[in-house]
Amino acid sequence: MLKLYNRERSGNCYKVRLMLSLLGLTYEKIPVHRAGKGRNILPPDFEKLNPLRQIPVLIADGRPYWGTVAILVFLARKYRGKAWLPLDAEGEAEVTQWLSLAQNEIFYGLGRARSMRGGRWHGFGTLEEAHTIARGALRALEGRLNEHDWLALGRPTIADIACYSYTVFAPEGGISLKPYPAVRKWLKRVESLPGYLLTPPYDGAGGPLVE
């Protein structure tokens, strides 16, 4: 059975849980907790699973896979062939460029803003800087989604799953999605996919949601 080292409020862990749900796969959750608002509490030898000591980590057939994008790629290839990630170079590149946006501008903008407002960010930068990066990411999404229902190939791919998380949590980071109607419609399309997994409830740590 698949095993997932998981923290429920982690946006990256949610991406993996969402993909597992969309694929209809069963798995065991191995819960990871925080020390208050501090870092994750992990066993001393966790670097054997991930040298960076980060979650999520997926265990499949006894082998660990770490890095959210790597896990999404593994799941897409292993269990659905080309349905969620194409095999041709052109299609794979089209998907991968949005994976890059998810891991860079979306994470360091929308994701960082969410963590900062909740008092859980242990990295660099300010909330204002995070909001500036977030608005750039949302403009990129809005431009694409004004003309396309999905980010790549005219159908749902792991690009949509990777970018959905943290975008959907924008109000927790103090960022309104009202100026981005195409993004809001796309979020609803993702939420209409068979097997969609509800987002974890807001814990209130960052104050009132920004609608």
Tens digits of residue pLDDT in 168-179: 999 999 999 999
Structure tokens at 87: 């095999």
> Which residue type occupies 209?
L
The CATH code of domain 89-191 reads 1.20.1050.10
DSSP state of 142: H
Query: Which of these, 203, 133, 193, lies nearest to 167 by C-alpha position?
Result: 133
Each residue of 141-186: pLDDT tens digit?
999 999 999 999 999 999 999 999 999 999 999 999 999 999 999 9
Q: What is the pTM of this model?
A: 0.94
Task: Place 121 in a pLDDT band, splitting at 50, 70 and 90.
Answer: confident
Each residue of 89-114: pLDDT tens digit?
999 999 999 999 999 999 999 999 99
For the chain, the structural domain boundaries read: 2-80, 89-191
Q: Give the pLDDT score at 45.
A: 84
Q: Give the pLDDT score at 108.
A: 97
CATH topology of domain 2-80: Glutaredoxin (3.40.30)
> Which residue type occupies 46?
F
Beta-carbon contacts of residue 181 (< 8 Å; ≥ 6 apart): 142
Distance, CA of 10 to CA of 8 (rounded, Å): 6
